[in-house]
Amino acid sequence: MKNEARRRMLQKETRGSYEKYKELQKEVRNACKKKKKEHLQKQLEEIEQLNRQDERRKFYKAKDNIRKGYHPRQEACRDKDEKALFDKEEIMNRWAEHFREALNEEYLSCNDQGKLDLALNNGESDKGENHGEAHV
């Protein structure tokens, strides 16, 4: 009903259509406030009941939920160029690429004597170097 009034107001901008839209907008805002207040009252009653039943863990969790409010999860990540990705398929492809790169590189390797060699495997060879020392 409010959307129809808005559409009428935008099609034919008259004082009457504008006032009707504003009136409906106010009704919707008041209805949302009322629903929010009822929901909060219901949550508080549940918290009081948990307190009376000595359900401490549930009591504090419910209290924290009210105090901290709702925080939606951020479903995004960055690509190699630091651009944000929001599409789920692009995010999954980026994670697959990240783990493919991370798991295919050899970060640590052992030399002949069993000592740890910290040289990164970047195509350089250790010709003539002492393998008993750690390289960074």
Domain boundaries, the chain: 2-68
Q: 106 pLDDT band (50/70/90 cuts)? A: low
- CA-based angle 79:97:106, to the nearest 5? 115
For residue 4, the tally of other CB atoms under 10 A from its CB is 11
Task: Examine the pLDDT at 136 and tell me if it is beyond 70.
Answer: no
CA dist 92 → 14, 83, 103, 114 (Å):
51, 15, 16, 38
Q: 33 pLDDT band (50/70/90 cuts)? A: very high
The stretch 63-79 carries a mean pLDDT of 84
| Structural contact between residues 118 and 136, judged by C-beta atoms closer than 8 angstroms | yes
Dmax (CA) of the chain: 91
The stretch 27-38 carries a mean pLDDT of 95
pTM over 0.85: no
Report the candidate in 86, 134, 89, 128 with the shortest Cα–Cα distance to residue 110: 134
Q: What is the chain's mean pLDDT, rounded? A: 78
The stretch 74-83 carries a mean pLDDT of 86
